[in-house]
Amino acid sequence: MEYILGFIVLLGVLIFVHEFGHFIVAKLLGVKVLKFSLGFSPVMIKRKWGETEYMLSWIPLGGYVKLFGEEPDSEEEIPPEEKDRAFTSKPVWARMAIVAAGPLFNFVFAVILLCCGFLAGFPVLASEVGKALPDSPAMQAGFQPGDTIKAIDGKFVWRWDDVRNMIEESPDRRLVFTVERNGQTTEIAVTPVLSDQKDMFGELKGRIGIAPSGKKIELGFLAAINEGVRFSGYLTELVVMTLVKLVRGEIGVKALSGPITIAQASGESLKAGLFSFVFLLSYISINLAVINLLPIPVLDGGHILFFLIEAVIRKPVTGKIREIAVQLGLLIIVFLIGLVFFNDIYRIVTKGWALSP
């Protein structure tokens, strides 16, 4: 039940946020919204309030908002009295705003979730050393349990993430640590060596052989908001970096996961506690925002690309060019869906149901 419930709640919330972004901005800009659907047909429940039909459908892998007059190639006749409410009658900037609102709402939702999470007590580890591993550069340099790292090469640090990041990014480069020990400040010089373990991108990082003490920092209101925004930026960078490395061929397509893995992760995170589930919800919301902005026809980014071209050539992209672009976009999406399902099933068959950390 945890897997089913976690999957439905996670996708349901993220799809609602995404489609609500399109919906509310369309309403604010005077566009008539014909349908608002969570899920794809067959329809489970539908009700009409005002001019919009709201639907809840059985297949929870997406959703859509149908706007009045949204297709530039449509032969649908638009009554003169409603022309101002048609999507295609709006200026380019307004149409771009409506389309971009979905990914934007997903990103803002993730930021809000993470800020609330840090306000509620998301753990932030202090830059205090718990131990120095035997025969490690840290042990040889003189690090001791209880040392609090205050700065690295003169740059102030206070959270363990800062310490780890600077060490990982500096293999074979001498670093000077400013350390507070028993109320006194001292400096320790140490050179990180390349780790024998690869990170999630298959790269070797620097290490000196220290572990955190586990001491947590209590954040005030402003500090929690700042941490939520900072961590949102970090997750966004992580998603973008993954896409860039995929395009460059630096990581393989086996790194891609699909709905089955999302269902597993949502169930595991729900069993692990609310904090874990909120973190996963935030991360996938950012994924959804970034992926939807890719310039692939049928995705929001593809529509934005059409609008940018229209702004340059002073007329909408219609006819055969648009038709071929949309068909190509659909082929790409179908291929990616098939690929991630294959990856999910192959992983389960070869490695079992359990997810790696």
Span 305-319, pLDDT tens digits: 999 999 999 888 887
pLDDT higher at 316 or 280: 280
User: d(Cα 202, Cα 200) in Å, to the nearest integer?
Assistant: 6
**pLDDT of 73 higher than 70:** no
**pLDDT of 72 higher than 70:** no
Residue 181: band (very low, low, confident or very high) from pLDDT cuts 50, 70, 90: very high
pLDDT at residue 356, rounded to an integer: 59
Residue pLDDT, tens place only, 79-113: 777 888 999 889 999 999 999 999 999 999 999 99
Selection from 148, 172, 171, 169 nearest residue 160 by Cα: 148
- Name, in order, each residue with C-beta under 8 angstroms of 146's C-beta and a sequence gap of 6 or more: 128, 129, 181, 213
Helix axes 319-351, 259-272, angle to 10 degrees: 60
Contact assessment for residue 113 and residue 229, using Cβ atoms and an 8 Å cutoff: no
- Name, in order, each residue with C-beta under 8 angstroms of 137's C-beta and a sequence gap of 6 or more: 190, 191, 192, 193, 208, 209
Entry pTM: 0.87
Q: 117: which 2 tokens? A: 């999470």
What CATH code would you report for 129-212?
A: 2.30.42.10
Of the candidate ranges 21-30, 147-156, 242-251, 291-300, the one whose mean pLDDT is the lowest: 242-251
Scanning the chain, the segments in alpha helix (DSSP H) are: 2-28, 92-120, 137-141, 160-168, 221-248, 259-272, 274-292, 300-313, 319-351
User: d(Cα 58, Cα 255) in Å, to the nearest integer?
Assistant: 29
Q: Which residue numbers are catalytic?
A: 19
Query: What DSSP line would sit under 281-337, residue for residue?
Result: HHHHHHHHHHHHTSS-TTSHHHHHHHHHHHHHHTS---HHHHHHHHHHHHHHHHHHH
Query: What is the residue extent of each domain of the chain?
Result: 2-121+254-351, 129-212
Q: 232: which 2 tokens? A: 């949102």
pLDDT at residue 291, rounded to an integer: 94
